[in-house]
Structure formats: structure tokens, C-alpha cells
Structure 1
């Protein structure tokens, strides 16, 4: 029986379409516990590869025959070998091409909605990392917000849509993933914007992303307006697009709020975080659709695969927006911080332009889940 390989793109569709999948993950237990492929209807069995070197006979009864089975490892080699052994034993299985490495890198573009006069807004969902990037397009022009480092995904998408990338923004200096914003701007001639309060140590030229800055796209004047919203970082800036969408960066998520400690200043910035969430955002229309820069768990995805919810719903349901006592808020935020993101200090250095790692080093820096939220 031939062993089939499945791409990260195919797995992504299974996640978005709520398909069933049984995953045999042959990475070490700690790697699996830290980070795995999440799906609404996925089942898992984690058996480290080294336990299967003498054969797969002991696990055959644990592998279903009535479901699609996918074998997963870190980079592909181990899963291919295990899949071949299972195939030789008579099971119909597949393996993930490129392993978790490829899963971490894959982006799925999904249309969020229409903008005035024929414009469109797209969300690029990085399922394996929880990152969310955006492209607003209108009458031949595009703006990109919080692009990850796979720049060809965005430039190719722009070509498919027949639009020119004119503006590239980062809502803040990212610490959990490497930004592709500056490279996209260099490739396309677009302007690259970064909040100046986050950019004091950067070693490259940028345009300051300041409170109240407004750019328009095309002659239809889709407004992309900046709203200073510190707390995750001191420069964090949100965007209101077309008076309809609120892009919150890493300040506000669907089910949680941003962590204030990734520059080592949690005690200093927790007050800014509260002020943004409980004052600045409270002045905005509750009908705005919140589009964050990350999601934490698969349950935050909507039926169409997007991550989006009305601001009014979050005011009602998000625990981080409903802690009236300021001292309790401060304690909740500072006492419930997850582990720091993998290599976050080096990632900050890369995003400042102070480090230029090679391709493999970039991959290693980003491996693992995102950890931008307060638990």
C-alpha cells in the first residue's frame, strides 16, 4: 500500500471545514504537550518515534480503521518511516509533508468582509502559530497589517488580486514571531510604519505610526485610521478600517487580553493595558468587528475559519474586560502570565534589525505556540 503525503494546506482545510482526523504524533511527549496540530474534530495519539523503532505491532489496535489517519513528526522523516511501517501492516495512513515545521509556516487567506465601494478585507490565518495578518484592498491598492515573515504569500496574493501594496504596518514590535513587514515594503516600494515608542532601538528607516494617522486606499477612500492603544507594548497601536473593523494587534483577543511583560515591564505597562481596554476601547462603537493579531485556541475560529467578533460581545463575554477592581486586574494580569515565547528576546532583536539569522535559525526561533495572551 502506498503511503500518501498530505500538505499543511490540506490539513488547514480539514481544520476550517471541521473534518475528522486521527493524528499519530511521533514527537517526544514534551514537544507534543507544548504544541500540536489543533482541530475541532481531531483525535490524537502521541507515541515517541524511538518507542516504535522495533515495530508498530503494539500500537496497531490503537489506530482506527474508520477514520483518516495522519502521522506527524517535527520535520517529516520519522513520520514517513512510521507511516510506511503502518502501511506494511495493512493500515491506510498518510504523513504530513514537512512535519510540524511546515505546519508552523502555513498561512490560509480568508475573506473577512467587504469594504465600501468594492473594497475587501482578508485575514491570513497561520493555524500552526496562531498568528493573524491582514490585507485591505481597494481600487488597485493594498495595505498590509502585521505581516509574518513569509513575504511571498502576501506579494503573490496581491498579484492575484491585481493590487499594488502601498502601505505596510506593524501594530507593535513583535516578540513571538518575525515580522515580514519591512521586507515586503522593501520588495514593493511600499511605506513601512512602526510605532515610534516601540522603535527606539531599531536600526532601519521607518514611517512613524502615530495616534490619529489616517491613510486612504484607492479613490474610494477606505480609511485606515490608527488608534494609540498601549499595554502589550508601550507603542501598541490599533486600527479602525472603514469604520467597521477594529484591528487590535496583541492588546485584545477573542477570549483573553494581551500580556504586558515581553519587554520586561509588566508592572510599568499593566496600567496602560487597563487604560486601553477600559477607557480607550470603551469609547468606540460596540458594533466594530474585532480582528486580533493572534488567536489562542481553535475554539476561537468562526465557522468560516476567521477569527472575529463584535466589540460589544467581547465587552460582555471576555473576562479580561470585566474586572472592575483595578488592583484585582493588576494581580490577574501579572499572576497569570504563560511561559515566555520561544526565543522572544532574539525575535525582538531581529524585528529591530539588529540580528539577521539564516533560514534555519528563523524557523527554530518561531517553533512552538504563540504566548501573547494573559491566561
Structure 2
């Protein structure tokens, strides 16, 4: 029987640089839509399973010992790994395939915060999405931008004896289905979503946050200050934790800016983005840690395995240093790639205006995010 590897183990091995190769045996369209990626580049080949079996010995010869074979659910990859093993090459099949990889959440702690507050960045490598748990051990906590698969958050919360009091979506996401409303109902926590992103009406329990609202997590030091940053969406909200950590949604990334066109208001929101960046972010302490909702490439993962930067580094970027609003807007709008067709549907689901069946939501939730407007930042 072929050896297997779990998604969490694969993530760790990619991080350590010990995966010799990934052999992805899905069809070419599925591979193109959602390749398996991690915190550093991995040699990857895509050979559909039927092609592997058409010339098994040749593909086995080309595959290094210890390679990881991947398919959609883990069945085809296990068959390939078994055949390779019979030919003398030991590989490993990814348990649950890319379906399981799509649900993987990996917590990484953001250290260096003052007082009792602790913060964890949850990385979802299948979509290059980031979510957060912020709180005080044995006290209260909040979850920001949760996915539909919440067990990793709940495990960490239980480990540290915390109670979830707030669940927040920084904006109405277009690239993935939010787990916020369902999780808030399940835990009896307050849910917060900017109603501007949902056309002014949110059809499920929601307490809108006003600019400057404070979410007190139970310590004089641990306060989360609400800051509205329109640009990626009309109502994007950021959270400044203990004057040290800014959870910024899709406003800025380690390399790039949030695209302003997903609500059909590209030029207007590009102007809002300019004002948000220069009027709300620039006055903050340059040492403020910026924690975004996405990353674009493995180059954005730092030596500690985190996708974070500082405000000072953000403002060394060429485009963010652009003071002329007309040129800024022109540069942003001109950089926009075509948005995936599913994004309009996903936004309707996250705004509570559409409720497709679970299997359809699974399909909507597949594929890497494309929320970056510009990757030209230094």
C-alpha cells in the first residue's frame, strides 16, 4: 500500500524545503485553476492520470523518490503511488487530495504585541487567504475573516481558554465564501460586516461598526479600534489592535493594493483607496505591523513564516508614494486583470442575498484569490 501525507504535513515540508517534487495528476484545467502552493516554490509537474498510466515506466523514471502525488480526492494519486512503488520509486499520495488541501488552515503566531494580547494568522494556502484570531488567553477573543471550515479556529480558542465574542468580516469578500455569519450564530458571538458592501441591508444578524468603535477584549491594553478604509470595497473596515497591529483586509498587501473594481466602481473606489492610504494609514506609527487578508506569491512570506509587513515598508512602495491622485487612479485602474466570473456570485452569497446548496458553495470556494490590483510595489 502506498504511503500518504496529510495536507498539514505537506505544508510543513514545503515550508522546510524538503519536498523534491509535486506530481499533480488532475486534468490540466483543474491544475491551472488551483495548483498546490506553499510558502516557497516547489518543483511541480502536471500530468493527467490517464497519461501517467499510458506510459507508466517513463513517468515513474522521471519522478524522484519522496515526491508527492496529488489528485482531486486522493484516489487516483494513491493508485499512481502504488504503481510507482511496484516499480521501485517510493512516493506519497496526498490524503484527501486537493479537496482536503482547500480546507487546510495553518496558524502562525504574530509575536511582539504589548501586554496580554496575542494574535494568530491563519494561512489558507489553497487560496492564499489569511484570517486571524486576536485575544487574551483565558479571556475574550475575536475572529477576523473566517473561512467556512472553522474547526482550526475553535481548536486554538479552546487550547487557550478563550471565549469568542466578536466575529468580523473586514468586507464582503469576492474570492471565497465567508464562514462568519454561520459561526457567529453557532457561538452566540456578535457578527460585524460593513453594510455599505451589502447595498445597505444585511439580511442576517449584524452589528455594523462605526469608525472609531472599540471592541474591548477584556484588557486595558487589548482594544481593537475600528477604522474604515474604503477603496477595495465601499465599506472595508480595518482593526488596529493595541496600537501595534493593523488588520487591514484587502486595502494593502505586502506587495500590492486591493483591486477597486469588484463592485463595478473602479475609478471612484480607486480615489477612495488613495485617500484611505494617504489620510488614514500614513499618520500611523511607521512600525505598525500590517496584516493583510491575502498574499500573492511565496516571496511575501517572511523568515518567520508570516505574511506581514510594516507601515514603513508599505510607504517605500513606488505606487503608494505617488502623491498625485490622477496618476494613482490611472495606474491602479490600468493594472486590473479580468475578475473571475464567480466573483459576483460569491459577493451575493457573502452579502446574504443568495444561498446556493453546499456542493455549489464548495465549487465557488475553489481557486486562488485574484484580489490584487497591482503587484508593482517594491
TM-score by length of 1: 0.94
Equivalent residue number for residue 186 of structure 1: 185
SS at structure 1 position matched to 2:184: helix
234-243 or 135-144: bigger deviation: 135-144
Match in the other structure for 1:214: 214
Q: 1:82 to 1:112 in 2, by over 3 A?
A: same
> In the TM superposition, what are the counterparts of 1:128-143 in structure 2 within 5 Å?
128-138=126-136, 139-143=138-142
* Rounded Cα–Cα distance in structure 1 between residues aligned with 2:68 and 2:270: 43
Q: How many residues align?
A: 371
Checking the alignment, whether the CA contact within 8 Å between 1:155 and 1:184 is kept in structure 2 is: no
| CA deviation profile, 1:194-236 (whole Å, cap 9, x unmatched) | 1131232421121012210111111444110011100000000
- Residue 97 (structure 2) pairs with residue 94 (structure 1): no
Separation (CA, whole Å) in 1 of partners of 2:187 and 2:34: 35
Alpha-carbon separation, structure 2, partners of 1:287 and 1:114: 11
| Corresponding residue SS for 1:118 | coil
Distance 1:123 1:218 in 2: 20
Q: CA deviation at 1:119?
A: 2.2
User: Aligned to 1:182, what secondary structure does the other structure show?
Assistant: helix
Bigger shift: residues 111-120 or 282-291? 111-120
Does 2:32 match 1:27? no
Structure 2 unaligned residues grouped into runs of 5+: none
- 1:105 maps to which residue? 103
Distance 1:133 1:342, change over 3 A: farther
Deviation at 1:47, TM superposition (A): 1.1
Q: Match of 2:371? A: 372
Shift of residue 342 of structure 1? 5.7
Aligned to 2:56: 56
**Which runs of structure 1 show a deviation greater than 6 angstroms over 4 or more consecutive aligned residues?**
none
User: Which residue in the other structure is 2:360 paired with?
Assistant: 361
Query: In structure 2, how many angstroms separate the alpha carbons of the residues matched to 1:219 and 1:21?
Result: 47
Aligned match of 2:168: 169
Give the conservation status (yes or no) of the 8 Å contact 1:141–1:166.
Answer: yes
Instruction: For residues 227-284 of structure 1, give each alpha carbon's deviation from its aligned partner in whole angstroms, at most 9, with x where no partner exists.
Output: 1100000000111101100111011000100001111111221110111122221111
Alpha carbons 2:146, 2:169 under 8 Å: kept: yes
Query: What is the RMSD of the two structures over their aligned residues, measured on CA atoms?
Result: 1.8
The answer to whether the Cα contact below 8 Å between 1:196 and 1:210 also exists between their aligned partners in 2 is: no
Q: Deviations over 1:300-347 (max 9, x none)?
A: 11222211111101211x343133443332222122223324621221
Q: Does 1:77 align with 2:75?
A: yes
Alignment of 1:343-358 (within 5 A): 343-358=342-357
